[in-house]
Structure 1
Amino acid sequence: MSYYDDIYEIAVDNYYLISTEDAYEAGVPPIELAKLAHRGKLENISRGLYRLTKYVPSSYDPYAIAVARLGRKAYLYGESVIGMLDLAPTDPNRIFVAVPTRTRRKLPSGVRVRKPGKEDVVTFYEGIPSQNVATAIRAARQTMMSERLLAATKEAKAQGYLTKREYEELEKDMGWR
C-alpha cells in the first residue's frame, strides 16, 4: 500500500481533510504529505492541514476546515453551531471556533477564535466537534439578536437538538418567558 492509501480512509471520514498529526499516527511521515501535495494528490489548506484534491463538496466544509485549522482541541462555537445546523440565518462569512490554548496561526479573516467557556459542553454534529446546541445558543447572545435566537431555539427543539427541559431552561435563562 502507498502512503496515499494509508491516509485516504482517514481523510474521507473527515471531510477529505488530513492533518500532519493524523498522518503521523497512521505511520505516514509529514514530508510525504508535502510530496503528495507536490504531485497533485493533496491540496495544502494551511500549515499542517491538507485536503484530497478529489473530494465531494459539502455545505459543512467551511466549518470542518475552520475547526481543523486550529487543531484537535478546537470546536465550533456559538452562532456557527446554529448556522451549521441551519437553525437560524447567520453570517456565513464568520465562523467562530473555540480553542483552549493561545494560537498564533495565520487564519482567514472570517475565522474568529474564542476562548472556551467554563460550562461548554462539546459534542459532534455531522462529525465536527461543536458546542452542544443549548450551550451554543447561550454563547450566541453576544453576536445574535434575541428574536433570531428565540427562533433558533424553537427550531432546535422541533428538530430534536434540545430536550423539553433544555428548551424550558433556555426560555428562562434568556428571559423569553
Structure 2
Amino acid sequence: MPRTTRNPSPERLFEIASVQAGYFTAAQARSAGYTRQNLAYHVAAGRFERVARGLYRLRQYPSFPYEDVAAAWLKAGPHRAVVSHETALVLHDLSAVRPDKIDLTVERPHRPAGNRPRLPGVRIHTTVQPLDAQDVVRIAGVRVTSAVRTILDAADAGTDLDQIVAAVREGIKRGLFTPSEMEEAARTRRARVRRLISVALQEAGYGSAVH
C-alpha cells in the first residue's frame, strides 16, 4: 500500500503528475496526502481538473492532445501498461489515422485472462516478456513503445501495409531509426512480419536484407 502523508504535499503530487503529462489518479493523490475532500476543494478552486472518475489533471500543466489515451493508460496502471500499436503510431506522429480503440500493451498476468483490465474503448495486448528499456519511451510523460517496436507490433497485428510503409519512411526521415536498425529488429519476429517490413523498406525507397 502507498504511504499516505499526514498533510497534502503539493511538491510530491507535482512530482507524480509531471511524469504523466500532468495527470494523476485519486490513489496517487492519496499517496501524496490528499483526501477526497482535499481533491474536491482543489477542483472547485480551479487548481485541479477532474478528467474522469478517479482521474485528475493539474490545470496549469501544459495540455496533452490525447487526453483519452493518457486516461486509459493511467487506469490500466502506469507502471504495467504502455501505449502501443496503432495508437502509438499516432503519438509518435507516424500516422494520421487514429484507431477506433486505444491500444495498450501489458505484461501477461499470472492469472486467468478473464481478469485482465476491462476498459471501454481500449484494446489490451499482452506480452510474455517484460518490455526492455529500449522498447519504451515517454511522450509528454506517457509511456509509449519505441518507434521501432511500435511499427513491428502494428505490422504483427495487421495494420495496413500503406500505414506501415508511411511509418517506416517517416521514422527514417526523422532519424528515429535507421533502415539497418529496423531490419535487425525485424529478425526477431515471425516470418510474416519480416516479409512485411522487407516490403515496407523497399516501398519506402530502401533496400532490405530481411528474409
Please state which band the TM-score falls in when normalised by the shorter chain.
Answer: 0.7 to 0.9
Distance apart, 1:120 and its partner CA: 4.4
| Equivalent runs, 1:156-175 vs 2, <5 Å | 156-169=171-184, 170=186, 173=194, 174=196, 175=198
Which whole-Å deviations, capped at 9, do the CAs of 1:40-95 have from their partners, x for residues lacking one? 43233344321123443233434322211211211101111111111122225532
Unaligned 5+ runs, structure 1: none
Unaligned 5+ runs, structure 2: 1-6, 110-114, 188-192, 200-207
* Structure with greater Cα Rg: 2
Q: TM-score, normalised by structure 2?
A: 0.66
**Which deviates further from its counterpart, 92-101 or 126-135?**
92-101
DSSP-derived class of the 2:64 partner:
coil
1:112 aligns with 2:123: yes
- 2:59 match: 53
- 1:16 match: 22
Distance 1:132 1:85 in 2: 8
- 1:99 match: 106
Distance apart, 1:34 and its partner CA: 4.3
Distance apart, 1:132 and its partner CA: 1.8
| Equivalent runs, 1:4-83 vs 2, <5 Å | 5-6=10-11, 7-26=13-32, 28-31=33-36, 32-37=38-43, 39-72=45-78, 73-83=80-90
Distance 2:167 2:56 in 1: 33
- State the identity as a percent: 25
1:137 aligns with 2:151: yes
DSSP-derived class of the 1:97 partner:
strand
Cα root mean square deviation, aligned: 3.0
Native 8 Å contact 2:82 2:105 kept in 1: yes
DSSP-derived class of the 1:99 partner:
strand
State the number of aligned residues: 173
Which whole-Å deviations, capped at 9, do the CAs of 1:133-155 have from their partners, x for residues lacking one? 22211211224211210120121
